[in-house]
Every structure is written in C-alpha cells, then in structure tokens.
Amino acid sequence: MPRKVKLADVARDAGVSQGTASNAFNRPELVRPEVRERVEEAARRLGYAGPDPKGRLLRAGKVNAIGVVVNFDLKYFFSDPFSRMLMTGVAEVCDARAAGIALVSSINDAVAAWGIGSAVVDGFVLQCIEDGDRLVELAKKRGLPFVALDHDPGPDASLILIDELGGGRIAAEHLVGLGHRKFGILGLEFSGEGHTGLVDMARREAAEYDSTRDRLIGYSQVLAAAGIDVASVPVIEAQNDAAGAAKGAAELFDAAPDMTAILAMSDVVAIAAIQEAAKRGKSVPGDISIVGFDDVPEAAASIPPLTTIRQPIVEKGRLAAELILDGGPVRREKLPVNLVLRQSTAPPRHA
C-alpha cells in the first residue's frame, strides 16, 4: 500500500509550497483562483481528500469537542428520558458551535479509565449518577476541565446541580398542604451495590448518592414538621428503569397499603406507581396522590398527567456544554426547581 498522500505531496505536485496548498484549502480567498485550481486539480489527481484533522488537531491544540461521560450503561443512557433531555441541551450548544460530542461510557472502571484518559476532547461532562467520586478522580487525573452534574466534585472543579433538598420540600409541602398524613416514599438508589426494596433507617442516613439523600432529607424535614413520624414512613429503593420502577412501586404498595400519598424521586418511578395503583384498583388522585420529580416529557403525557417537581434538565445540559467549550473559570451553579401542578394530586378522600 502506497504511503498516504499528504498536503506536502499535493503541494509538490501542484508546484506550490506547502503553505500555499494549506491556504488553498483553509483560506481559499488568500490564494489566486488560478493557483487554487491547480492545487485542487493536483489533490484530485492524487486522491487527496483534504487536510487531515489529526494533523490540524495537534497543531491547534484545541479539539473543539466535548466528552460526555455516561453513567454506567449506554443502554440505560439511551432509554432514560432524563439523559435524553440532558443530551438535547448539550447537543444544542455543540451544534451551534460546530463542536463534536464524544460518548464515553463507563460500564466498568477499566472502560471508564481508558475512555476518560484517552478521549480526544477539550473537557468532560460527568453525569454522576453511579459512581461520581470515581469519575471525578479520573477526570482530575486527565487534567482537562470538567463539569460534574448533580454531584460535588470538590471545591476546585465545576459543578451544576439543582436544589434537591428544596425540591423534596416543595413536593412534601404540596402533599401535606393538601391534607395527606399517610405517606410512602418511592426512592431511587442510595448507593452503588444494587440493593433494592425497603430501606431501613441506617441505610437512609448512609445514602451515598447526593440526589437521593438530599431529596429524602427534604421530604423528611417537611413530614417531621407536620408531626409525622418519618421512621414509620416506608422508603423503597428502586432502580430508575422500567423494570426496577415497576418492582419498586409494587413493593411500596405492599409496604404501605393504607398510604394516601406517594413522594416519588423521579417521574419514571412515579409513573410506575400510577400504573401499579391502576393495577390494584386504586384511582389517582382519588385514592392516592403522587408527586414525581424531574418533569420529563412522559410526565405530562401520563394518565393522569403527573404533578411533579420540575428541574431545568435541558438547561443543565446547555450550561454544562458552555462551561466546557468556553473554558471559563470553575463555576458552581445551583439551578432552581419548582412545582408543576397537574392531575395526579388531590386532597385525601376523608380529609
């Protein structure tokens, strides 16, 4: 196989210097049309497809691409509405600046280490659902700028999160305000070892994942303030996919057959709870009220439409991408959340 033709070959063949040939491709206006034509002709003859980005890259120092480190499993990633919205935001700003997006998966430590260590990008967005600390560590080692999402990477790195605790409070206040006293909490994972089902007090307090922990604290504060014994409110730990959510919802109904209200830590699990209620012949919101979290598109489309805590997911993605691409200083942003009232909540029947 003949050595690949490069710019220098084209230049020689066209009888111009390499610099001129480079200009012919990258800044054609600087080159006399006649000469440019000669260069293009030579390129065609030699089968030269244009300057190779690899060379340009090294030269330029900047890649103009951003790596999105995907928590755990790409299959989950693509099926999760939250991740989808996030990527919409990221993609929006990348498209606007002609920047690339590299997906870095982290199914296991080796893959994550390899990916973060060798992705050709200017920085990373870390979706820290699974093992945030580890990803942060890897990103720090790589030495490129990065933003951690929903997980504190320590003071010298950027962070975007939402007011998880406040969101938890708003959800609980809404339900308490409606008059509910019998609660069930449908939570997400507390830590990485795959435990699901009922969560005892020790585990509640040892929650490793920031979002889960803070949302639960928010719920608990409000419930306690309303004189409800939080320890007696069942908390279920569920995985945030279709199967895990269905299982968790069933477990919650089993654990608290007389509850009138569910605080759900994501819309995915909230919707599973709606379905489980239907399966058990309970009407929402007649027999049972449910508040979700996130406000993904599915929340508005569910039957009944889900009352939920909205967080600005797309904006989160946009902000994260901008942070990396603009290369500014370290920033820590806490985005606001708010209650979106729809039809899955109502006063309890006998209030």
List of residues contacting a copy of itself (CB under 8 A):
47, 49-50, 53-58, 61, 63, 65, 74-75, 78-79, 83-84, 87-88, 91, 94-95, 98, 100-105, 107, 111, 114-115, 117-120, 141-143, 242, 301
Cα(287)–Cα(279) distance, integer angstroms: 13
Q: Taking the alpha carbons of 93, 53, 328, 155 in that order, is the dihedral positive or negative?
A: positive
Q: Does 350 bind DNA (CB under 7 A)?
A: no
User: Distances from the Cα of 68 to the Cαs of 106, 130, 137, 146, in angstroms?
Assistant: 10, 14, 15, 10
Contacts of 331 (CB under 8 A, 6+ apart): 158, 159, 323
Quote the DSSP letter at residue 164. H
Cα(198)–Cα(20) distance, integer angstroms: 70
Q: Does 338 bind DNA (CB under 7 A)?
A: no
Bridge partners for 230 per DSSP:
none
Q: Does 286 bind DNA (CB under 7 A)?
A: no
Q: Does 4 bind DNA (CB under 7 A)?
A: yes
Only segment of 33-41, 174-182, 306-314, 329-337 that touches DNA (CB under 7 A):
33-41
Residues shown for the chain? 351
Q: Does 343 bind DNA (CB under 7 A)?
A: no
Q: Rounded to the nearest 5°, which phi and psi values hold at 327?
A: 60, 30
Minimum Å distance from CB 216 to a copy of itself?
29
Binding residues among 68-97 for DNA as defined by CB under 7 A: none
User: Distances from the Cα of 251 to the Cαs of 232, 235, 257, in angstroms?
Assistant: 15, 10, 10
Closest CA to 296 of 307, 310, 275: 310
Q: Does 15 bind DNA (CB under 7 A)?
A: yes
Pick one of DNA, a copy of itself, none as the site partner of residue 289 (Cβ within 5 to 8 A by kind). none
Binds DNA by CB under 7 A, chosen from 1, 2, 61, 156: 61
Cα(162)–Cα(45) distance, integer angstroms: 57
Pick one of a copy of itself, DNA, none as the site partner of residue 32 (Cβ within 5 to 8 A by kind). DNA
Binds DNA by CB under 7 A, chosen from 2, 13, 42, 55: 55
Cis geometry, peptide bond prior to residue 2 (ω within 30 degrees of 0): no
Minimum Å distance from CB 8 to DNA?
6
Only segment of 12-20, 163-171, 173-181, 224-232 that touches DNA (CB under 7 A):
12-20
Please report, as ranges, the residues that interact with DNA according to CB under 7 A. Answer: 3-4, 6-8, 15-20, 22-23, 25-26, 30-32, 34-36, 50-52, 54-56, 58-61
